[in-house]
Amino acid sequence: MQRMAWTDERLEERFDGIDRRPDEAEREMDEIARLIARLISVAKRWSVAIQASFLGVIVAILVKGV
């Protein structure tokens, strides 16, 4: 079985990879947070639109006197 020599260069590459992982994870978490914020914004807009629609229906019923 052949063993790999861990040269200084290979060790640096490995450590650089380890150092990048938290940065990549942080970027992904930021992206997820932005996505969640957009979804919440859309949900709020839909909520307001639905409430306004229900209010419109109630007003129409009251005005018509049914």
- CA distances to 4, 20, 31, 51 from 13, rounded to whole Å, are 15, 11, 26, 57
Would you give the DSSP letter of residue 2? P
Segment-wise mean pLDDT, segments of 10 residues, the chain, 66 residues: 69 76 83 94 92 93 83
51 residue type, one letter: Q
pLDDT at 18: 74
pLDDT at 65: 78
Does the model's pTM come out above 0.75?
no
